[in-house]
Every structure is written in structure tokens, then in C-alpha cells.
A and B are shown apart, each in its own frame.
Chain A
Amino acid sequence: MKFKCPECDGDIEAKEVIEGEILSCGDCGAELEVTKKKDGTFELKVAESEGEDWGE
């Protein structure tokens, strides 16, 4: 699957993705979350950054 990084427009390739998964852009290093569009296709959005209440 091919994506464009929403931060730097770099090309991102991923074999198999699932919704909610985090990819990082090889060009700019941004953390990107896989989300599903209404038409069922995937897109990448900049992921939430680590919050103070994250983790177990």
C-alpha cells in the first residue's frame, strides 16, 4: 500500500496495515496513525503525541 506523509509529502510504503496502527515516515520521522476513510480506504493522519497519562 502506498501513502503520502501528511507532514512532509514523502512516500510511505506498507505491506499490510490495520486501522489504528502507527507508521513512521522514513523521510521526516513523523508518527502517523492509519485511519479508515468513509469509503473504506486507509489514510494516514499525524498521530497523537505521548500524553502524561499514557501507559500502564
Chain B
Amino acid sequence: MIYDRIRTEEKELINAAEKKGVDLKAIDAKELHLTITEPEKEKENFGSVTIERCVSHFRGLHVTAILESKGINVINPYSVAAICGNKLLCSIYLAKAGIPTPKTIVAFTKEEAMKAVEEIGYPAVIKPVFGSWGRLIAPLKDRETTQSLLEDREEMGNPLYQIFYIQEMVERPPRDIRTVVVGDQIVASIYRYSGPDDWRTNIARGGRAEVCNLTEDLKEMILKAARVVGGGVLGVDAMETKSGIVIHEVNSTVEFKGAMSASEVDIPSKIIDYALKLSRN
């Protein structure tokens, strides 16, 4: 396992491996240097399967690319992490597969972003294409605030913030549905309620969790979403709207602390089993 910070999830993965008698080696990505011009070098330091658990998306993504070049199976594969780490790419895959997802328009200047917002109508949401825990996600309620917010974004140095990802604000109860998928199986599903002082439902933002019983149709839709991004260990996020369920995100380095305590499912044990299965293939 590659990590850069031991959160509850990583601790639980280490414990789960220990209980199963699996030799899991936890490696700090911050203490690595890897030779990319010699594929065979350093290969023996990693088993046949590596679980990538970096909290920094780009660090994890690049480590994955290198390990794959050395012939190591990574959970999740580079392509999956790249798609899930970018909201724009993720939306493209969901939409192409015909999975209901909120209406999304992307623009590359603030002028065109303004047009996109007007086309979607108020309220809308602006999200950075990368990043998470709801960071820099902002509701757009009227023309004036949108204008000043877009100007602020234009001032931000990072060129990725100049990709304006505008989405309809879905009318939903103050909760969403987080489902943890491992391989071709749904292992746990929870409602995530927004925290007391926030509209976003991220557990990292103080949201709370409650177990959710999925309908067969929804199970199928969630598994399909996991499949279209390439599969692996994933967190699929859905929202209940008046016109049905939409899937708005699939996450690659899934945080399952909330899902684990609410559902009482031993998610880390399932992930270790999945890794073992991959190592045998």
C-alpha cells in the first residue's frame, strides 16, 4: 500500500491485512524516489498488487503511472484514477454511457462561463475539475454573485481553475447516497447528510452517515457507473431528484470511514480480498 498520510481508512486496511495474515507493506510516497527509465528497478519493493491510498490526488496518480510501467497491478489503475480525479472526464464517461447525471456545461473564459450559467439557469453550481472535499465548490444564485465569483476564479493562478465546470443545482433532500463498490460488488451504501453549517454533504465537511438500502435498479445503475470509469475500488455518489436518481461523481481513492461505521460492513477486509484476488490473476 502506498500512502502519504495514515487516516482511519489506511489504519483499517493495515489491520484488515494483519487479521488475514496478509503481508501488507505500507510505503510512504513522501519517502520514495522511483526510476522511470529503468522499469525493472525498485520493482521488487512492491508486491504484485499495490493499493494506492494517497490523499494527494496528483501524487497518487503519478505514483500509479510509474508502478504500472513496472508491471505492478495498482488499485485503482491509472486510467481509473485519472478519470475519477477529474470531474469533467468523469461527467463525460457517465453521460456517454447514458447514466443520468446533472446537466453540466464547461467553459474556458469567464465570459463564456457566464453564458453557461445563464443557459443552465439559477441556482447553478461551479466546481473545480480537480480537488475534493467540496473545496471551492460554490453555489451560483444570481447574476451579480456569479459575475464576481467568476472574476475571482480568473484571478486564481492555477490554470485548472480556468476550466469553468458549471452544473445545474439539483433539487434534492439535504443528503446524497455514497456507495462503495469493490470490483463488481456493492459492499456498502449510505446516506450522507449535510453538516449543520454546510450545504455540501461531504463527511470531511461534517456530514453524517446513515445506512441506505438500494433498490435493484439503483444497484444496477451504480455498478454500471463503476464499470464505465474502469472499475476497481470506488465511491459512487448519487442524488435523489424529483425526476429520479442522478449519479454526479465516482471517486477513486474512496474514503469509507462514514460508510464503514454506518453500515457495519468490514469494507477494508473486502478491499484486501479484492487485492488478493488480483494478485492471483
A residues with a Cβ closer than 8 A to B are 18-22, 33, 35, 47-48, 51-56
Contact = CB atoms under 8 A, between A and B. Distances in A.
Interface string B19-44: 00000001010100000000000000
Contacts of A33: 5
B11 A56 contact: no
B132 interface: yes
A21 B6 CA distance: 5
Nearest to A47: B5
Contact of B255 (A18, A19, A47, A55): A55
Contacts of A54: 55-57, 131-133
Contacts, number: 58
The 6 closest A-B pairs by CB, nearest first: A55-B132, A20-B6, A55-B133, A56-B251, A53-B57, A21-B6
Nearest to A31: B5
Contacts of B255: 55-56
Q: Could you say which of B26, B56, B235, B251 has the most chain A C-beta atoms within 10 Å of its C-beta?
A: B56
A26 B10 CA distance: 24
B11 A51 contact: no
Interface of B: 3-6, 10-11, 14, 26, 28, 30, 55-59, 85, 130-133, 135, 158, 204, 235, 251-255
Contact of B204 (A20, A22, A55): A55
Contact of B28 (A20, A22, A51, A53): A20
Given A18-B14, A20-B10, A52 B135 contact: yes
Contact of B131 (A18, A21, A22, A52): A52
A31 B29 CA distance: 19
Contacts of B253: 56
Given A18-B14, A19-B26, A55 B135 contact: yes
Given A18-B11, A19-B28, A20-B10, A52 B5 contact: no
Contacts of B130: 52-53
A24 to B, nearest CB: 13
Contacts of A48: 4-5, 30
Given A55-B55, A55-B132, A55-B135, A20 B235 contact: no
